[in-house]
Amino acid sequence: MTIRVLLADDQTLVREAFAMLVESAHDMEVVGQAATGRQAVELARSRRADLVVMDIRMPDLDGIEATRLIASDDDLAGVRVLVLTTYDSDEYIVDALRAGASGFLVKDTRPAELLDAIRTVAAGESLLSPGPTARLIERFLRSPSAPATGGPECLSEREREVLALVARGLNNTEIAEVLGLSPLTAKTHVSRIMGKLSARDRAQLVIVAYESGVVTPGSI
């Protein structure tokens, strides 16, 4: 199955470089390029993209608002968003995850990692590496401007344990190993947690874990 990729970045050279890389993969094709967030939303609709590689800082409509529009559009329910970030200088990545992005990618990542990231997110998983994700969310989520939300009181003790491990960036197999469960049981727990918390994907579970205090800054 070919992954239909839309590239959104205001820098032409960056888009062209990513396009060449994506087109070199046998299981991907570039279906459009957008220079603004508004163009990204429009092309996501018209080109039937499976995944949008979205820069955050763009004119007209930034990547966060574009992500929010895509994630809230029922007609685009199957479209996933992989956000580009400069990491150390980009303070908007948590807002992007809240808006519905399925993960983030550092702009200077290696080519093979970009292709793997696209495959991961297109398959319905979230791109959450334990180190960068934890540090980034720890840095910004507990800032004074971060909105407070209620805790996940509806979760069982085991589900709270699973949620904490998701926030550390562990996949289902790793969660199973830590808790002495089967991978299928771990997957079932994650699915139930997402249903109870009305989370779009694992990326939003990380946000909930931090905002609710299940995981606290400095604990990872």
pLDDT at position 167, please? 82
Q: Determine phi and psi for 192, rounding to 5 degrees.
A: -65, -40
Residues 6+ apart with CB under 8 A from 143: none
Q: Which of 86, 41, 44 is nearest to 68 (CA)?
A: 41
What is the biggest distance separating any 2 CA atoms in the chain, rounded to whole angstroms?
50
pLDDT tens-digit series, residues 20-47: 999 999 999 999 999 999 999 999 999 9
Whole-number percent of the chain with pLDDT over 70:
84
Most confident of 42-56, 70-84, 98-112: 42-56
Q: Which of 101, 12, 86, 13 is nearest to 51 (CA)?
A: 101
pLDDT at position 148, please? 44
Instruction: Place 59 in a pLDDT band, splitting at 50, 70 and 90.
Output: confident
pLDDT tens-digit series, residues 120-144: 888 877 665 545 555 555 555 555 4
Question: CA-to-CA distance for 176 and 190, rounded, in angstroms?
Answer: 11
Crossing angle of helices 157-167/183-197, nearest 10°? 90
